[in-house]
Amino acid sequence: MLLSLLFLACSGSSKESEEEAPPASIQFLVPLEGEQVNAGDASFAVVVENFSLVDPAKHNEGAATGYIQIRLDGADVLQSGSTNFTVTVGSAGAHSIEAELYYEDGDALEPAVKAQVNFTAVIAD
């Protein structure tokens, strides 16, 4: 009886040890949805939470670290280990930019963690 009570006491789980880390997230700070940016080399910024960014040239497996894959109008244009980056927007008009988190080894997070904004590029005077 004492042995079974001891087993039950030891097999109980505490909530603190089973809590999962909050999920990774990404969102655009610049530009905001629908804003205008100058055509040419345009600056963009995102905020990433619960995920550490590293230089995309380094590839290691393990912890939740990686880089951001940047797509302009659906085409891959940049891999960034920073939340601030510049992308060349070649023409005036409507565009979309997407940022997706990838692990250091090149695998996308599952489910995908990404953000997208639509913006209008204008010719600077």
Tell me the mean pLDDT in the region 10-24: 56
3-state secondary structure of 26: strand
* Residues paired with 63 in a beta bridge: none
State yes or no: pLDDT of 14 exceeds 80.
Answer: no
Stated length of the chain: 125
Token pair, residue 13, equals 């789980």
pTM of the model: 0.70
Residue 80 vs residue 3, higher pLDDT: 80
Q: Which residue has the tokens 């997407």?
A: 98
C-alpha to C-alpha distance for 121 and 43, rounded to whole angstroms: 12
Residue 46: predicted pLDDT:
92
C-alpha to C-alpha distance for 118 and 72, rounded to whole angstroms: 10
CATH of 23-122, one of 3.30.70.1450, 2.60.200.30, 2.60.120.280, 2.60.40.10: 2.60.40.10
Q: Which residue has the tokens 């097999």?
A: 11
Predicted confidence (pLDDT) per residue in 51-108, tens digit: 888 766 655 545 678 899 999 999 999 999 999 999 999 999 999 999 999 988 888 8
